[in-house]
Amino acid sequence: MTRKVIGRIEEDDILEVETMAKNNGLLPIFNFVIDDHLACALPEEREKRVLLNYLAPKSLLNLKYNCLCPRRGKYKIGPITVYFLDPFNLFFLKRIYYLYSELYVYPRTFKVPRFPELTKGVLPWFGINTMHLSGDEDDFYGLREYKPGDPLKRIHWITTARKNKIIVKEFQRQSFFRATIIFNLEKDKNFGEGKHSVAEYTIKIAASVAKYLIEKDISLEIIAHAEELVHMPFNKGAGHLDDIFKFLAVAKAESRVSLYELFQEFSRYIPNDSNLIVIMLDQDWKYLPAMLSLEKGNNVSVIPLVLVSSTFLYSLDEREIVKDVKIKLSQAFNITPILFSRGDNLEEDFFKY
């Protein structure tokens, strides 16, 4: 028995599974059942059973089946159990194949259509850009005529001799922005239920913003507390995003510390001239002054993404609640937060700041 399955999908995606059963014997196999355990599926659909009537000698049979994977997490698909039945289906012989496949179900992301400009970095515009200069810097860029002050060691002697004038090698220095995403999955403040809980919204927002920034080639750091403290240092690229998603797939709201304690513990990792994206509850507004102090002391831009806690607790007029929270935060801290409430189209919330 062998099984083929992809290693990662998103919530509410369909997992496609291909299992191959081979009869190595000289006799055919009649009346048998293949039972594969799909841990990521809904409870009532986790046992995928296929009844087969015949498998010829020395032959291979490919079975394809699927299941819906509704919740993020890390799962182990398997084992496979085969039941060999007698002709009258009165007795059976059971054989277990300890064949397992690892699967990550990532949080489902949404498109971030617009995001506050990252204003702190080497250059005052968004993303990666380059400056051209002559000197001991990154990658070779080209050649140009010598200018007073250029290092003599950068003279390109072959071209200088050919052109009968001094030519120097020119290099490019890559300039970039760094962003830190910080959030706390606090157990006592995980209001709401199921996918409409504070933790699930926080994780979905963190995943979507991380994907957006990585695709913009921003160097990204994650600071979080779930079951334990997590620090994922600055990095870029698809591999870094995959590591972030793996953490978010398994993160649980088990934190027993406050957002302030988390910030105090890891604030020293937030570098100067960078951007701090904090995903927080409006109940934690009292911690904002400490974070905003980084703007003056360390030239750190703070971008608050705020979940409105009361919308996860009560069935009230959410529009008035959100409006009130926005006014209070704007007046108290002279900022314009992006607000999220239960039931929102999170993509549209990024148009409202």
* Residue 282 identity (one-letter amino acid): D
Residue 68: count other Cβ atoms within 10 Å of its Cβ.
14
- Report how far residue 309's alpha carbon sits from residue 192's, in angstroms, rounded to the nearest whole number: 9
Q: Write out pLDDT tens, residues 331-347.
A: 667 777 899 999 989 99
Q: What DSSP string runs through 71-127? A: S-EEEEE--EEEEEEPTTSS-EEEEEE---EEEEEEPPP-----------SSSSSSS
pLDDT at 317: 62
The model's confidence at residue 131, banded by pLDDT at 50, 70 and 90, is very low
The model's confidence at residue 151, banded by pLDDT at 50, 70 and 90, is confident
Give the mean pLDDT of 92-106: 95
The model's confidence at residue 281, banded by pLDDT at 50, 70 and 90, is very high
Residue among 92, 323, 346 at smallest CA distance from 211: 346
The model's confidence at residue 318, banded by pLDDT at 50, 70 and 90, is low
**Domains of the chain and CATH, by start:** 2-106 (2.60.40.10), 129-175 (no CATH), 178-349 (3.40.50.410)
Length of the chain counted residue by residue: 353
